[in-house]
Every structure is written in structure tokens, then in C-alpha cells.
Amino acid sequence: MTITTLRRQLLAWETSPAAILTKLAGEIAARDQGRTGAYLSHHLDTALAEAANTDLSLPLGGIPIAIKDNINVLGQPCTCGSKFLENFISPYDATVIRKLRAAGAIPFGRMNQDEFAMGSSTENSALGITRNPHDPTRIPGGSSGGSAAAVADHTAIAALGSDTGGSIRQPASHCGVVGLKPSYGRVSRYGLVAFASSLDQIGPLTQSVEDAALILQAIAGPDPLDSTSLDAPVPDYLRALNAGVKGLKLGIPKEYFGEGIHPGVRKNVEAAIQSLAAQGAEIVEISLPHTEHAVATYYVIAPAEASSNLSRYDGIRYGHRAANPTDILDLYKKSREQGFGPEVKRRIILGTYVLSSGYYDAYYSRAQKVRTLIRRDFENVFKSVDAILSPVAPTPARKLGAAGADPLQEYLSDIFTIAANLAGLPAISIPCGTTDFDGGKNLPLGLQIIAPHLAEAKLLQIAKAAER
């Protein structure tokens, strides 16, 4: 059930937070464990104790929210899907967790993810893979694959994920749920384990656009503990949710509809665009000329920031510590060799290379300049349109293991989502029908909507019209 439906039942005393939690725990045991694998852990007794003191009059009073395993919750594991943090217990609450609790929500469940959020399939988790509930032979997407799969499998009411280059929107598309990446700075990152600090953003995965608006309302706003959070007013996201799209201009980037898109994706996205036109929106073709450089730019900047952020994992202060080192340098080497998986190592090596002496200007500095060009493309387009429509991914969910030993093909699957992160813009994926792909039947896919910076209210308004 959606948050909205459960809230009505809670306020009418037709159910209780304890009953909802107990029901979810039963669904997790029946469908997730040994099948979907979205949950790394869940703590029913702790959640029931918290539910006993929940104020049902609050906006999210009594609603359990699943949490991606790179967001800290006091007293719970925060593994980031990595052996390095396999036994780490968080000593504090992230700001988004504190805000969810202030709104009456109950954090429940630690969701699987690609290790340190590095991946697009949730196959890179060191703690087990997650499967797509629509077809268990396929990926759920990533890196927030556990969060998306649980919402799609109805073993979670809603969930939080993080999005660095599409890690909320792509799994939302593959699993057929709503996934919202807010503007950079709209939601505090304090308590989010950093992958790439200039790109990361926390956001909701839900069963409806209205539910996404409810959660964003709770977690948005400035935070003195995060210097990158913006001191900007937070509008009422529900107020204009049903205002429709009549009179709005929606841009279709020609660069997002070229070669490589599966015919079923193109057909469904174009049908969604026509449905918005039928509701009164004006559809115009636009150009984002630097789109072709987005993937290369991202895979210079993101690994560079990752190599810096992950240098703290040294086997000294916390996390995995190698046994019997010969000296301090050997301790560093062995701890990181044993603790990190292959994809994380690949990105650390790549990031260290582009930041190294003699290569910084050739790669990292140049990538930052191209990032500015990509941001300017969006700024120019938003002078004439209210939002942009596109596919989320070129294809539906691929089969588990199909990427093989070629990480480049996996990186290219984020071609339509990366640019919004580089430009710091809000973007959402909403379900957009199903199609057949690579032997799979009726696989979900998503429509992506991108809006100007801090225009989440307009983004949700358009998403609601498309959902309708």
C-alpha cells in the first residue's frame, strides 16, 4: 500500500504501526529472504519499540521507511555493501533519519546496494546480489537496487536511496517504481557515506509520486552539519501536485533519442510524451550538445572524488583490519586489498590516476570544464522550457551476469541519468509501461523528467500528470 493509503487507515484506527511492521516482517521472510535479497538486515524489535511512541498526527506518523545501507542509523549496521564495513555499527543518525523520525516515520531495514554505491546492478555488493522482483533472473538496477526491489516487491512501503549518477532513477525504472533525485543541496548529505561528494544526493523510492512528495517534504531543507546544503525555502510539494501540465513547455532532447535505445523503450516514452501533450503541454525539440561527453566526464570526476573519500579506509580507525601485517604500510595494503571489491578498486585506481601529477590538468581539470559546459546546456534550455523528458535507461533490466568482464558497457547504461548529477538538477523516474527484452516479458521501464535547480515542485507536478 502507499503511504497515503496507510496514513488514512492509521488515522481511522483501522491498523497500527506495529501491525504494519509485523506484516512487513512476514513479507520479508516469505518473499525477500532467499529470493529477492533486497534486505541485508531488519530489526523488528527495535522498530516495534519505536512504533510504540509514534505520534500518528505527524505527516509520516507510523510509516516504516527502508534505508539504503550507506545512510547511517544509530545502532544499526552501515556496511555500504562492503566487506570493509561488514561489522560496522553506526554511532549516530544521518540528518535525513533525524528528519524522518521528526515527521513520525520509522526507519526499518537495511537495503542492499552496490559496494560503496559504485555500480548499476547491485551485483557489486560483497554481501550478496539482489534480484529484480519482476524477473528474478535480472538485475534490479543500482546502486540503490535493494531499495527499489523492496518497494516493487511490496516488502517495503517506501525507501531512501542515494543517487550519484542515476542510482535512484535507474533501479526505479528497472523495478517499476518512482525514484526521485533532488537538486544538489536540497537534502542534507550529513550521515551519507560519501562516494563522490559533488554528485551524491539522497532521495526517495516510492510507489507513487505523491508518496515521493511526502518524503521529500520531510527530508528537504538546510542543515548546519552539511556545508553543501542550501539555505533555501522548502515549498509545499503537495500543494500544486494536481495542477496539471496545461500551458507548460516540455523539451525533448534530440541527443537522448538516437541510436542504442531499445524500440520498446522508445515506444513507451513517446507514448508518455503524447499523453502529456494531450493534457495541454507544449512539446518542443531541444538540444543538449555536450551530452556525448557526459559519461566520460562523470567517470573522471566521480572516481577522482571516490579515491579521495575512500582513503580514510586504512584498517586503523574502523572497518576491516588485516591480520599479521609486517609494518604499517603492509597493514594499509592488505586491509584495502581484502576489504574492497574489484569495482571499488577499479574506480580508486582510475581516480588516483586522473589526480596524479602530470595527468591532473589533462583529465580532472578538463573534465571540470566540460562539466561547466554541460550545466550551461541545461541553463540555456531552461530559458525556453519548464522541464525535460527522456528515457531513464536505453534498455530494460538486463540479465544477471550479462555485463561480463566489460565494465564500459555498464557505465554506458547511465548515459541518460549522469548529466543531471553533473549539473546538480532534480530528476525523477516514473513507471512508463513495460516491454519485452532479451527473452524477458513485460519488463518495467521509466520516464525521466528533469527540472531546473530547486524546481522539485514543478518536477512533481509534471510527474503526477504523467503518472495519471
Contact 217, 169 (CB under 8 A): no
Residues 6+ apart with CB under 8 A from 346: 407
Is 143 an active-site residue? yes
Point out the catalytic residue in the list 120, 121, 125, 143: 143
Could you give the strand order of the β-sheet that contains 106-111, starting from the edge strand earlier in sequence? 39-41, 106-111, 64-68, 159-162, 202-206, 178-181, 427-437, 440-450, 387-391, 249-253, 282-286
CA–CA dist 275, 193 (Å, integer): 39
Marked catalytic residue, from 147, 162, 167, 208: 167
- Whether 121 is catalytic: no
Distances in whole angstroms, Cα of residue 382 to Cα of each of 62, 127, 270, 367, 464: 39, 42, 21, 23, 20
Closest CA to 28 of 107, 109, 105: 109
What are the residues whose beta carbons fall under 8 Å from the beta carbon of 330, sequence distance 6 or more?
A: 322
Alpha carbons 178 and 206: distance in angstroms, whole number: 5
Residue 68 annotated to the active site: yes
The single-letter DSSP state of residue 105 is -
The DSSP letter of residue 258 is S
In DSSP terms, 448 is beta-bridged to 390, 429
Distances (CA, A) of 399 to 56, 163, 248: 42, 22, 38
Q: At what angle do helices 294-309 and 342-355 cross, to 10 degrees?
A: 100
- Residues annotated as part of the active site: 68, 143, 167
